Amino acid sequence: MPRGALPREAFPEEALRASVSLRAMSCDEITQDRAKTAMLRRRAHSDWRMGDFRRLRAWQEAKRLAILSRDAIRSLPRIEAYALGSQWQRAAYSVALNIAEGASQASRKQFCRYLEIAKGSLDELQGVLDLADALGYLPTDKLRHLRLTRTHCARLLVALRRRLSAE
């Protein structure tokens, strides 16, 4: 008997059978065991999920920006309603929709990618607002309010992205 090993008689037979199962597992049992292990791994990696995207302050602000933009687009001259107005509306909606879609992704990295796309749409909105200002399409106070809302939304997006990257 190897040094330090206890004789087999030191353990009751029932305890040995209960603690160590020497029977062979069937192929189905092995497959089920592997599936269960994979599910537990996925669950462990997916614990980060945001849950309901509507609770995110960045999404709430993006929604507010889309609504404010829609009202401002209505006041554009008729000639710009389809050119600048259409681009403006798509960019404004894109911000909120990319946040919502990204929140349901399987990983933080994928969510961060959607946040980058939303940030790009916010930058596009900045360009649209600059054009609207240069062309004199909107009153200064309305433009200032839209710019402040856009900037606040951008800050919330950047903060959310940093938080996700740090975790």
* pLDDT in the model for residue 16: 46
What's the confidence (pLDDT) of residue 86?
A: 95
pLDDT of the residue at 64? 97
Q: How far is residue 162's CA from residue 34's CA, in Å, rounded to a whole number?
A: 35
d(CA 28, CA 32): 6
Mean pLDDT: which of 9-13, 96-100, 101-105 is highest?
Answer: 96-100
Check if the beta carbon of residue 88 is closer than 8 Å to that of residue 135.
no
Between 23 and 102, the higher pLDDT residue? 102
pTM for the model stands at 0.69
User: Averaged over 5-25, what is the pLDDT?
Assistant: 53
Residue range 66-85: mean pLDDT, rounded? 93
Rounded-to-integer distance, Cα 157 and Cα 162, Å: 9
How many CB atoms are closer than 10 A to CB 38? Answer: 10
Cα angle vertex 147, ends 58, 74, to 5°? Answer: 100
% of the chain beyond a pLDDT of 90: 62
Instruction: List the chain domain ranges.
Output: 8-45, 53-166
More confident site: 71 or 21: 71
Q: Which pLDDT value is given to residue 43?
A: 53
Check whether 56 has a pLDDT greater than 90: yes
Task: Tell me the helices (H) and strands (E) count for the chain, helix number first.
Answer: 6, 0
Domain 53-166 part of CATH 1.10.1200.10: no
